[in-house]
Amino acid sequence: MPSSSTNRPVSDVIVVGGGHNALVCAAYLAEAGLSVTVLEGRDVIGGNTVTEELTLPGHLHDSCSSAHVLLQSNPVIRDDELGLAELGLREALGALLRLWGESHPDMAIETTISPSLGETGETSELTIYRVIQEALTNVFRHAGATSVNVSVEPAEQPTGLRADRSFARVRVCDNGSGMKPDHKLGFGLTGMRERILALGGTLSVASGDGGVTVEAMVPNDARVPVSRQQSPA
């Protein structure tokens, strides 16, 4: 880091706030060769993506859940930037997987999307899309895998959940090295699990010698919980 004439460290850029957008910005600036200082008033970083142990050890909480209100005005959801309404879930996933395949030509990607999935709502389709996107991101970054299988199919009623709902089973399996026994899920999958639980579904992550399997049960009629919808002014 450069220094001034008074030997105080000088940064090319000062980023105020350690939220996820600020951290991404700081990372790009640092990669470009600039010296960057990030200022954050809290003792944890991550902003609205923070998941913390607020009560008991091992019990994680989305401490900024009010941010979900703001998510409803996000252009990705509001303006359907993913193209789910225009393309449909199958075509949108196909486009996503083609992009991953082109950027990772050494990875074999197998995809099965059942034609008998049934009618799925916008929230359900967006959740399915995000689960696959997040799981694939982890595979390509950490798994050391040579192949990954993605499937979306209708599922039987999970035990302990409402009996009058239909579900889609989303499964992403890789043949990588698996996770270490003491591995903790990152913010992405942890946040996704909390979102799916709020919708009335489940998400599990299993690891073994044959790789990692991420499996989500997403209600076809999923709706954003009322407490997380934006209230009228």
Q: Are residues 119 and 212 in the same domain?
A: yes
Q: What is the pLDDT of residue 170?
A: 93
Q: What is the pLDDT of residue 225?
A: 55
Q: Residue 20 above 70 pLDDT? A: yes
Q: Residue 121 above 70 pLDDT? A: yes
Q: What is the CATH number of the domain that holds 165?
A: 3.30.565.10
Q: What is the pLDDT of residue 214?
A: 92
Q: What is the pLDDT of residue 232?
A: 45
Percent of the chain with pLDDT over 90: 9
Residue 127 counted as domain residue: yes
Lowest-confidence region among 74-88, 134-148, 190-204, 209-223? 74-88
Q: Are residues 115 and 213 in the same domain?
A: yes
Instruction: Show the domain range for 6.
Output: 1-49
Gyration radius of the chain's alpha carbons: 20
Q: Residue 156 above 80 pLDDT? A: no
Write out 33-50 in H/E/C secondary structure.
CCCEEEECCCCCCEHHHC
> Rounded to 5 degrees, what are φ and ψ at 25?
-60, -45
Return d(Cα 148, Cα 53) in angstroms, integer. 32
Q: Are residues 157 and 217 in the same domain?
A: yes
Residue 60 counted as domain residue: no
pLDDT: which is higher, 40 or 164: 40
Task: Tell me the H-state helices in the chain.
Answer: 20-31, 67-71, 75-78, 84-87, 89-103, 122-138, 187-199
Find the mean pLDDT for residues 17-21: 82
pLDDT: which is higher, 192 or 2: 192
Total domains in the fold of the chain: 2
Q: Residue 57 above 70 pLDDT? A: yes
Question: What is the overall mean pLDDT for the chain?
Answer: 77
